[in-house]
């Protein structure tokens, strides 16, 4: 059976250039970047080259990049730094669209006496800048607004909110994990203070991510016990993964324009044909500013979980929302925040394209999707939809 | 394509079931696990609904080369199995939750969910056999009598049997473990899960904790109120534990001094009484039952069969007398020889030879 991977917002296959950059560090090369000898020097060089490439992709300077093991770690670090730095519990503004690594870190601060304002998106999947700005207060210690939502793919008005934050002297964190490598991301254009990025969302390896911290902005060392990452994050560097991260960033910078065209081409091919093949299928947020690669659809009277499993058995990997660690499916918090009912949320499907997909896969996917939906409509009484 | 879903608990038996089917046709098999009960905070290995076991199921599915999915069914499990289990104790009965789980969860619900996923058949690791009979599929005991689980399956319908596969029914436990070892399955050395899977400590403590946590779900009951111990003549013998802590046939823990050992004969929640007596008084000539079920067409009139009144009962010859009441399904069963331990809440399962004819739920003794 030919498998097609259409879940690139979960993770992506490795770019051949990233793989080539990693291979020496999984073979003949090895070394601790902190060692003085030439083994260490070579490893240090690989890490710093990677740092420059990642910085270049973001329009940043290399010393502003703190390498981490995941986007989650980077997001957590900013929230917990904010708490540690504050003399007393203050106020946070986050959105209901944020990734759990921000939502749940904010919830933990709330347990410790912080006030958290959670700004909701509209039905279009976009958080209104005015609502976000209106939530800022004199005692607001941090605002967090993601650049692109992982589930519906909508782009958020980060630059506008960041400008308002800057005028008020409030630091702002931008989770750009889902945007980098798909659309241009420039830290100065965005005007934020912290930005997070993860390699594996744009054809880099798992286990490599970065926190960009604007020069002059603080970040408390949250792992201690070594001088790595300019004392901001101790721990021996994952040289192979970072080498892959750097090269994935370089490849993204080289290919960015054609990526947008290519990904949007796949998505549009899918979305143009979908209503004819699956009558009644809805496209979520199709008129909002959004990523070129993400289609979020809802199919009436179909339980997304059952459809996902059928599609997987037939060889197509998609998602019903964000991947859930227990392996079971819960209604997406993003969709609920957008005002969808539990039933609508449970009948949703996320199709996210990547650079390794081909137009023929889209066509085959449409065939199989139409077949499996028809089969589900046949075997499933309407009343049972939404019974989790 | 005819797809078979294997119900994978992460235990030895269902793992070998998945392995055997995958070896025949890996493209036509998927593994399904049911998330039935939240054991968070509890070391839950060796329980069919535990989270660690779901991890084992995933690993076995990878070894077998089949996809595996976890379906969340905890709400249905609570409603259909756990709540009635607690309610049974509070009504003075001793429940048999594994039968309910098979009836309502593993076959009713899982079969329905499997159909949604395109699988027309469900395979499980039960030790029982499905044989073709003149009137359709029949349920029979396993070849390995020591492992036979047909008792727990008596409420299945012929339609469900037609969509079920029990590959282990023809095998011995030894063979099954041998297959797991040869295949190098990660569960090859795993032990049996014998207790009620969702109860991690004592049953009584579980019942009390559930009632304390969810008083809205159960009829009002005075938790931990002492019961009155009486003899068959109604004479009060002393104060006992709360009535729901007793089970019929129980001998230990009565705390009564008597010439010969005393046993629990009956539990009467409405009177808050526990009736005790000597061993001969435990013997009953028959039982009254409800929710009579036949696998296949109901026979006319009275039926001669063998009955098991609990899972490990050796069985006794009986005459089954349906009372012709289609709603409650009431029935009386006369034993060829008096039996001890007729326990309300347990299943009475009817056999003819190796074949399971059906069964009923015990209400009391005749």
Contact yes or no for B226/B241 (Cβ under 8 A): yes
The reply to whether B191 falls in a domain is no
Nearest to B70 among A303, A310, A328 (CB): A328
User: Quick check: A373 contacting B, CB < 8 Å?
Assistant: no
Same domain, B274 and B295: no
Identify the domain boundary among A251, A266, A300.
A251
Q: Which of B281, B308, B329 is the last residue of a domain?
A: B281
Q: Is A197 found in the same domain as A217?
A: yes
Same domain, B113 and B240: no
Among B183, B208, B237, the domain boundary falls at B183
Tally the domains of chain B: 3
Nearest in space to B225 (alpha carbons), one of B263, B211, B278:
B211
Q: What is the dihedral of CA A10, A15, A21, A25, to 10 degrees?
A: 40
* Residues A318 and A221 reside in one and the same domain: no
Number of domains in chain A: 2
Phi, psi of A156 (to 5 degrees): -110, 155
Please say which residue of A202, A226, A251 terminates a domain. A251
Question: By CA distance, what is A376's nearest residue in B?
Answer: B116
Q: Does B55 touch chain A (CB under 8 A)?
A: no
Contact A18, A205 (CB under 8 A): yes
Report residue B116 as tokens: 């949604």
pLDDT exceeds 50 at position B252: yes
The CATH number linked to A353 is 3.90.1150.10
Residues A223, A290, single domain; the answer is: no
- Whether A299 contacts A347, CB under 8 Å: yes
Contact A309 B30 (CB under 8 A): yes
Give the model's pLDDT for residue B225.
Answer: 82
Residue B59 maps to a domain = yes
Same domain, B228 and B93: no
Q: Give pLDDT tens digits along chain A (388 positions).
A: 689 999 999 999 999 999 999 999 999 999 999 999 999 999 999 999 999 999 999 999 999 999 999 999 999 999 999 999 999 999 999 999 999 999 999 999 999 999 999 999 999 999 999 999 999 999 999 999 999 999 999 999 999 999 999 999 999 999 999 999 999 999 999 999 999 999 999 999 999 999 999 999 999 999 999 999 999 999 999 999 999 999 999 999 999 999 999 999 999 999 999 999 999 999 999 999 999 999 999 999 998 889 999 999 999 999 986 445 445 567 888 888 899 888 888 889 999 999 999 999 999 999 999 999 999 999 876 544 443 3
Q: Is residue B135 part of a domain?
A: yes
3-state secondary structure of B212: helix
> Could you say which of A1, A329, A375 has the minimum Cβ distance to residue B118?
A375
Q: Cβ of B71 and A380 within 8 Å?
A: no
What CATH number does the domain containing B172 carry?
3.40.50.620
Length of chain A: 388
Shared-domain flag, residues A54 and A154: yes
Q: What local confidence, expressed as pLDDT, does residue A59 receive?
A: 98
Please tell me the distance from the alpha carbon of residue B70 to that of residue B51, in angstroms, as a whole number. 11
- Tell me which of B281, B298, B326 is where a domain ends: B281
Judgement on whether residues A40 and A122 belong to the same structural domain of the protein: yes
What value does the mean pLDDT of chain B take?
90
Is residue B193 included in any domain, yes or no? no
A130 interface with B at CB cutoff 8 Å: no
- CA closest to B27 among chain A residues: A313
A94: containing domain: 16-251
Inter-axis angle of helices A304-313 and A359-379, nearest 10:
130
pLDDT of residue B169: 97
* Structural domain contains residue B214: no
Model confidence pLDDT, tens digit, residues B179-205: 999 999 999 998 877 668 888 778 888
> Whole-angstrom Cα distance, residue B277 to residue B230?
9
Question: Both A351 and A376 in a single domain?
Answer: yes
Q: Look up residue A131 and give its two tokens.
A: 């609502």
Percent of chain B with pLDDT over 70: 95
Residue A50 sits in the same domain as residue A8: no
Distances in Å between the alpha carbon of A173 and those of A52, A98, A114, A145?
21, 11, 17, 6
Residue B28 forms part of a structural domain:
yes
Looking at the structure, tell me whether residues A105 and A223 fall in a common domain. yes
Question: Do B48 and B170 fall into the same domain?
Answer: yes
**Same-domain pairing of B277 and B289:** no
pLDDT at A77: 98
- Cβ <8 Å between A372 and B118: yes
Same domain, B243 and B347: no
Asked if the structure places residue B63 within a domain, the reply is yes
According to the model, what pLDDT value does residue A44 have? 97
Arithmetic mean of pLDDT, B111-137: 95
From chain A, pick out residues whose CB is under 8 angstroms from the CB of B30.
309, 313
**Nearest residue of A to residue B119, measured between CA atoms:** A310
Say if residue B222's pLDDT is above 80.
Answer: no
CATH of the domain at A197: 3.40.640.10
CA distances from B214 to B78, B82, B220, B226 (A): 12, 12, 11, 21
Give the pTM: 0.89
Residue closest to A103 by CA, chosen among A386, A358, A371, A336:
A336
**Same domain? A213 vs A348:** no
Three-state DSSP class for A246?
helix
Cβ partners under 8 Å of residue B287, min gap 6: B309, B332, B333, B335, B342, B348, B362, B363, B364, B365, B366
- Please choose, from the candidates A197, A216, A222, the residue with its C-alpha nearest in 3D space to the C-alpha of residue A146: A197
Domain that includes residue B266, residue range: 224-281
Contact B332, B366 (CB under 8 A): yes
Residue B239, beta-bridge partner list: B228
Residues B292, B247, single domain; the answer is no
Sole residue written with tokens 């009955």? B307
CB-CB neighbors (< 8 A) of A310 in chain B:
117-118
Residues A225 and A189 in one domain: yes
Q: Are residues A78 and A194 in the same domain?
A: yes
Say yes or no: B240 and B303 in one domain.
no
The CATH number of residue B312's host domain is 2.40.30.10
CATH label of the domain that carries residue B245: 2.30.30.280
**Residues of chain A with C-beta less than 8 angstroms from the C-beta of B118:** 310, 313, 372, 375
Q: Please indicate, yes or no, whether residues A49 and A157 belong to a single structural domain of this protein.
A: yes
- Whether B338 and B357 map to the same domain: the answer is yes
> Cα–Cα–Cα angle for A95, A97, A102, nearest 5°?
70
CA atoms of A338 and B54, how far apart (whole Å): 33
For residues B334 and B273, state if they share a domain.
no
Instruction: Assess contact for B106 and B128: CB atoms under 8 A.
Output: no
DSSP state of B194: -
From B49, B98, B197, B360, the catalytic residue: B197
* CA separation for the pair A356, A203 (Å, rounded): 9
Dist. CA A117–CA A97, nearest whole Å: 13
Q: Dig out the tokens for A206 from the structure.
A: 């798992």
In a domain, B316, yes or no: yes
- Per-residue pLDDT of B13-51, as tens digits, reads 999 999 999 999 989 999 999 988 876 544 444 444 555
Q: Which among A251, A273, A291 is the end of a domain?
A: A251
The alpha carbon of residue B51 is apart from the nearest alpha carbon of chain A, in Å, by: 9
CA distance linking residue A256 with residue B170, whole number of Å: 61
What CA–CA distance (Å, rounded) separates A182 from A265?
13
Query: Looking at the structure, do residues B179 and B39 belong to the same domain, yes or no?
Result: yes
Is the same domain home to B172 and B269? no
CA distances A74 to A51, A106, A142, A215, A283, Å, are 15, 14, 15, 16, 32
Q: What are phi and psi of A117, to 5 degrees?
A: -100, 125
């Amino acid at each position: 059976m030919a498998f097609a991977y259409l879940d690139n917002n979960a993770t992506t296959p490795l770019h051949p250039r990233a793989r080539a950059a990693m291979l020496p560090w999984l073979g003949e090369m090895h070394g601790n970047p902190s060692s003085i000898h030439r083994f260490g020097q070579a490893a240090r060089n690989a890490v710093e080259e990677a740092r420059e490439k990642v910085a270049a992709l973001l329009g940043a300077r290399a010393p502003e990049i703190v390498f981490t093991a995941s986007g989650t770690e980077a997001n957590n670090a900013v929230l917990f730094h904010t708490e540690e730095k504050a003399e007393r519990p203050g106020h946070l503004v986050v959105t209901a669209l944020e990734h759990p690594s921000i939502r749940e870190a904010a919830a933990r601060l709330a347990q410790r006496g912080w006030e958290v304002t959670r700004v909701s998106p509209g039905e279009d999947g976009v958080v209104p800048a005015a609502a976000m700005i209106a939530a800022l207060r004199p005692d607001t210690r941090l605002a967090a607004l993601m650049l692109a939502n992982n589930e519906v793919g909508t782009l958020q008005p980060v630059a506008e909110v960041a400008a308002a934050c800057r005028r008020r002297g409030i630091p702002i964190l931008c989770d750009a994990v889902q945007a980098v490598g798909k659309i241009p991301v420039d830290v100065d254009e965005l005007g934020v203070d912290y930005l997070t990025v993860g390699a594996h969302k744009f054809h880099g390896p798992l286990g490599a991510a970065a926190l960009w911290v604007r020069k002059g902005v603080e970040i408390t060392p949250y792992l201690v016990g070594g001088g790595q990452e300019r004392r901001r994050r101790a721990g021996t560097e994952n040289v192979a993964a970072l080498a892959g991260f750097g090269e994935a960033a370089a490849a993204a910078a080289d290919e960015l324009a054609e990526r947008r065209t290519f990904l949007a081409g796949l998505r549009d091919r899918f979305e143009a044909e979908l209503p004819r093949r699956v009558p009644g299928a809805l496209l979520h947020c199709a008129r909002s500013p959004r990523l070129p690669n993400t289609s979020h659809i809802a199919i009436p009277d179909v339980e997304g979980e059952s459809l996902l499993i059928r599609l997987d058995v037939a060889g197509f990997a998609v998602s019903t929302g964000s991947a859930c660690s227990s392996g079971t499916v819960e209604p997406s918090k993003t969709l609920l925040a957008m005002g969808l009912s539990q039933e609508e949320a449970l009948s949703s499907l996320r199709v996210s394209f990547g650079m390794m997909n081909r137009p023929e896969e889209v066509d085959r996917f449409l065939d199989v999707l139409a077949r499996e939906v028809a089969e589900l409509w046949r075997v499933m009484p309407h009343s049972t939809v939404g019974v989790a | 394509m005819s797809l078979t879903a294997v119900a994978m608990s992460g235990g030895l038996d269902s793992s070998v079931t998945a392995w055997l089917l995958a070896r025949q046709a890996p493209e036509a098999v998927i593994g399904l696990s049911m998330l039935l009960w939240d054991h968070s905070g509890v070391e839950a290995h060796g329980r069919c609904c535990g989270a660690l076991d779901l991890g084992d199921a995933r690993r076995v599915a990878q070894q077998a080369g089949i996809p595996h999915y976890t379906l969340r069914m905890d709400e249905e499990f609570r409603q259909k199995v756990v709540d009635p289990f607690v309610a049974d104790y509070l009504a003075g009965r001793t429940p048999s939750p594994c039968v309910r789980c098979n009836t309502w969860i593993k076959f009713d619900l899982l079969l329905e969910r499997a159909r949604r996923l395109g699988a027309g058949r469900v395979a499980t690791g039960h030790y029982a056999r499905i044989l073709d009979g003149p009137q359709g599929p029949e349920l029979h005991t396993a070849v390995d009598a020591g492992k036979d689980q047909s008792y727990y399956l008596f409420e299945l319908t012929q339609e469900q049997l037609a969509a079920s596969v029990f590959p282990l029914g023809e095998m011995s436990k030894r063979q099954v473990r041998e297959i797991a070892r040869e295949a190098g399955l990660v569960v090859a050395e795993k032990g049996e899960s014998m207790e009620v899977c969702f109860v991690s400590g004592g049953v009584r403590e579980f019942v009390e904790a559930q009632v304390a946590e969810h008083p809205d779900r159960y009829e009002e009951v005075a938790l931990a109120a002492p019961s009155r111990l009486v003899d068959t003549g109604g004479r009060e013998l002393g104060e006992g534990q709360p009535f729901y802590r007793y089970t019929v046939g129980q001998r230990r823990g009565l705390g009564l001094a008597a010439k010969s050992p005393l046993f629990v004969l009956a539990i009467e929640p409405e009177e808050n009484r526990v009736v005790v007596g000597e061993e001969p008084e435990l013997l009953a000539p028959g039982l009254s039952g409800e929710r009579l079920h036949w696998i296949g067409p109901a026979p006319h009139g009275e039926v001669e069969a063998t009955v098991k009144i609990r899972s490990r009962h050796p069985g006794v010859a009986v005459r089954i007398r349906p009372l012709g009441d289609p709603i409650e399904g009431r029935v009386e069963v006369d034993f060829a020889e008096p039996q001890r331990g007729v326990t309300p809440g347990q299943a009475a399962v009817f056999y003819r030879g190796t074949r399971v004819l059906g069964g009923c739920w015990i209400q009391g003794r005749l």
